[in-house]
Structure 1
Amino acid sequence: MGNYKSRPTQTCTDEWKKKVSESYTIITERLEDDLLIKEKELTELKHVFSSDEAFGKVNLNYRTETGLSLLHLCCICEGNKSHIRTLMLKGLRPSRLTRNGFTALHLAAYKDNAELLTALLHSGADIQQVGYGALTALHIATIAGHHEMLFHSQLVL
C-alpha cells in the first residue's frame, strides 16, 4: 500500500484551488491595470462625460496608452447609456480589446455598472465575446463577486 509519509501534504484539490486563486489574482491585476488612468486624463474624461457640450467635441479616435477607447473609458469614467449609444452609433466597436485583453462589456461587468452593461448589450455588444484568458463578461462579473450582474444580464438577453 505504500508509505503514507511519502504522500504529498497537499491534495490535488488544494493544489487546484491554489492555481485558480492565482489565476484570479492575475486577471484582477490586469483589469485594475486597465482602470489606471493618469490623474490629468481622468479629470478631463470626467468632464467630457459630465457635459453634453464637451462630449460632442470629443475625438472619437482617442486611445489611452493602454489601448482604452472612449467606449472603455465611458465604462470607467462615469459615462451613461446615452454616451454608449452615441459612441456605438458613431462606429466605435464594442468588440475592441484593451492591451490587457478586455472589452467595454468586461469593464462594465467588473465595475458593476448595470446601466452601461444593459446599454452595451442593447447596442449590439456580444455577451459571449472572450477576452484575456478566454473569459467572457459574465466570468468577470463572477470573479468580481457581482452576482446580481449575472442575473441582470440574463434578464436583458
Structure 2
Amino acid sequence: MGNYKSRPTQTCSDEWKKKVSESYAIIIERLEDDLQIKENEFQELRHIFGSDEAFSEVSLNYRTERGLSLLHLCCACGGNKSHIRALMLKGLRPSRLTRNGFPALHLAVYKDSLELITSLLHSGADVQQAGYGGLTALHIAAIAGHPEVSLASLKSEEKNVTRLF
C-alpha cells in the first residue's frame, strides 16, 4: 500500500478503451472517405436513381475514383431495393470491395438503410463477408450505433447457420 503514488494513472482497461476508440475512428474515417462523392457526381447519381429511364441507360462498368461501383453508389445515394435487384440481376457482384475495402452491404449498414440491407441479403450478399480490417456487416452496425441493423444481420446469420445444418 505504500507505493500507491507510483502506480500508473491509467489502467489497462483505459488503455484498451483508448486503442479501440482509435481503431473505430480509423474505420469510420475510411467509410466516410468512400462515401465522399463530388457534388456534380452526386447530383447526377440522384438523377439516375430517381428516374427509371435514366437508371436503365447507365453503364454497369461505371466506377468512381474511390472504386465505388453502381451497387455501392446505390447504397450511398438513395437507391431502392428494385435498383439493387436490377443491378445484381445484371451481374454486379455484392462482394466487390471499394478501394478502402468495404462491400456494398457495409455501406448500406453504415448508412442505416434497412430496406437496402434486406434487399442485398435477399439478393445473395454475404452477411459474413469481411471487409477492411476483417470487419463484417455486424461489426459496422455496432460501430455506427445502429441496433436495428445489428438485429437484421444477426437474423440473417441465423438463417445461414440453420441452412448449414
Q: What is the TM-score normalised by the length of structure 2?
A: 0.91
Q: In 2, Cα distance between the equivalents of 1:132 and 1:64?
A: 19
Residue in 1 that maps onto 2:143: 143
Residue in 2 that maps onto 1:126: 126
Residue in 2 that maps onto 1:73: 73
Please list every run of 5 or more consecutive structure 2 residues that lacks an aligned counterpart in the other structure: 160-165
Answer yes or no: is 1:89 the counterpart of 2:111: no
Query: Aligned partner of 2:53: which letter?
Result: E
Query: Aligned partner of 2:44: which letter?
Result: E
Residue in 2 that maps onto 1:152: 152
Please list every run of 5 or more consecutive structure 1 residues that lacks an aligned counterpart in the other structure: none
Answer yes or no: is 1:18 the counterpart of 2:36: no
Q: In 2, Cα distance between the equivalents of 1:66 and 1:111?
A: 17
Aligned residues: 157
Q: In 2, Cα distance between the equivalents of 1:140 and 1:152?
A: 13
Provide the alpha-carbon RMSD of the alignment.
Answer: 1.2
Structure 1 moving runs of 4+ over 3 Å: 154-157
- Contact 2:138–2:154 (8 Å) recurs in 1: no
Q: What is the TM-score normalised by the length of structure 1?
A: 0.96
Q: In 2, Cα distance between the equivalents of 1:6 and 1:99?
A: 47
Q: In 2, Cα distance between the equivalents of 1:98 and 1:2?
A: 56
Secondary structure of the 1:78 match is: coil
- Contact 2:88–2:123 (8 Å) recurs in 1: yes
Overall identity of the aligned pairs, in %: 77
Deviations 1:92-149 (CA, angstroms, capped at 9, x unpaired): 1100111111110000000000000001000000000000111001110111100011
- Contact 2:137–2:153 (8 Å) recurs in 1: no
